[in-house]
Chain A
Amino acid sequence: MKKYINIVLILLVAACTWSACKKDFPVDEDGLLITTRQECYVSSFELLGTDFVTVRVGAAVIDTTAQTIDVTVQFGTDLKNLYPQFTLASDCKLDPKITGKVDFSDLAHPKVYTVISGNRQIKKPYSVNITVQPRQ
């Protein structure tokens, strides 16, 4: 009888261990959770200078249909050394990743950032169009 109880206990522990280690949710190549959300847009945008103070003049205009971000920056902004900050819909991620300063000085060729939805099925590229405020 004792022998059977031990076997049952061992099987129970093994089953618990197996179920505890089982992966419930899928993750992507960045280790981020893949969800069922389909929302895919930029909700706000910020641009900081090397002093980590905003260089924007007014709020950035985000067009989720045209997939553009239009932002006017102060006269004298050092366009080669800017820190962009995106706020995205829930569970979205951005490609390319922002890892430091970004050079926005080539105004003729706006930077493009792609927003990827929570379910990783929808991808929307956004162009960041910068206009420098005139001095006078």
Chain B
Amino acid sequence: MQRRKIYHYSFLPAALLLLVVACKKQEYALPTPKDVLQNDCIKRTLGPNIVGQKIEFAYAMAILPAKGKLVSAEVEASIAGAPGTYMENKSYYTDQGGVDVGIPIGDSSVTKGTNTAVTFTTDTFATTLRYYYVIPDEARGKTVNFTFTTKSSNGETASFSMGPYTIAKMDMVRNLKVSTDKMAYISIADMTVYDSTAAAANPDKIDLVYVYRKFDSSAFNHALVSPAADTNYLPGVMLPAGVSRNSKLIKVFNLQDYNLALLQYGIYIDDVDFQKLDFTNAPDYAINLKAEAGAWIETADAKYRAYIYINSVKSDGTAVISIKRLAL
């Protein structure tokens, strides 16, 4: 009995002590900055890396003012970027109105082969520079790496590696205007739209016809139709001589690919999406297409698969389309 009492009396102070320790407020201490040149990098673009499009990076670098200042920033890409590749020579901040304001920190970037560099001309201790890499055709289907390097006036160097990034094999074209009475012949091989004269000159390249018809008793409206489709789906269409290919189509809705639509949807069609398609029993027409709808297409020779996105439609028989295409 005596022992139990001792246990009780010793447990209570121990519990109280634990509470006091648990509730003790730890004093905040300012972190001590590292006294060496530092850098960091993020890739800002999302989705597949498509030839002709840009990959955007934000490269941050900083040094303590007491140690020196930034002298240069450069990027080494494993495959030289296409013309238009550059690094910003401005450091941005966002003003009270939400507008990004650029402050020049050096000369415009100089790109030589795989290297892009900015030399600082103002005293700068910390900055973030954007780097835009235009994907060259040479990189198609390959991977590309980047090494970001900064130097400071005290002779220090810091580097940051990014990648590897796989470059998609597909191609993309945006905002092609089609009209049922003129620019109606779509070539997936050439990724363009032809009128009847040009279609007659390139009949083996015409994969689809854009048709707009308004019927009272059925919903035909905007349609993508194979030249070889039943004439019921080509009402009043006089095909140019030799235009007779038979593409297959799968009608789609709610697939607003970001690259094609440039809308808020975070959907991206990549190479693998084309490879997974099954066109068995697919028809050769897609009618009653609306804005933001689309269609998967396989060309008659099974050489290409494509996704045509309908950006907008008008009741005067015109539409704006965008295409992603993969060569098989």
- Which A residues are closer than 8 A to B by beta carbons? 49-53, 74-76, 78, 80-81, 103, 133-136
Contacts and interface: CB of A to CB of B under 8 A. Distances in A.
Contacts of A52: 253-254
Interface in B173-229: 215-220, 223
B131 interface: no
Interface residues of B, number: 22
A134 B218 contact: yes
For A78, A81, A103, the residue with the greatest tally of chain B CB atoms inside 10 Å of its CB is A78
A135 B232 contact: yes
Contacts of B232: 135
Given A51-B254, A51-B293, A74-B219, 10 more contacts: A50-B251, A51-B251, A52-B253, A75-B219, A75-B287, A76-B218, A76-B233, A81-B282, A134-B218, A135-B215
Contacts, number: 51
Contacts of A75: 215, 218-220, 287
Interface string B140-159: 00000000000000000000
B311 to A, nearest CB: 17
Contact of B217 (A50, A76, A134): A134
Contact of B218 (A51, A78, A136): A136
Contacts of B215: 75, 135-136
Contacts of A50: 250-252
B252 A51 contact: yes
A81 B293 contact: no
Contact of B283 (A51, A80, A134): A80
Interface string B277-290: 00001110101100
Nearest to A79: B283
A100 to B, nearest CB: 11
A52 B253 CA distance: 7
B33 interface: no
B98 interface: no
Given A78-B283, A81-B282, A103-B281, A133 B217 contact: yes
Contacts of B220: 75-76, 135
A133 B251 CA distance: 19
A76 B219 CA distance: 9
B13 interface: no
Given A50-B251, A51-B251, A76 B282 contact: no
Interface in B274-324: 281-283, 285, 287-288, 293
A27 to B, nearest CB: 35
Nearest to A49: B251
A53 B287 CA distance: 13
For A81, A133, A135, the residue with the greatest tally of chain B CB atoms inside 10 Å of its CB is A135
A81 B277 CA distance: 14
B97 interface: no
B31 interface: no
A133 B215 CA distance: 12
Contacts of A133: 217-218
Contacts of A49: 251
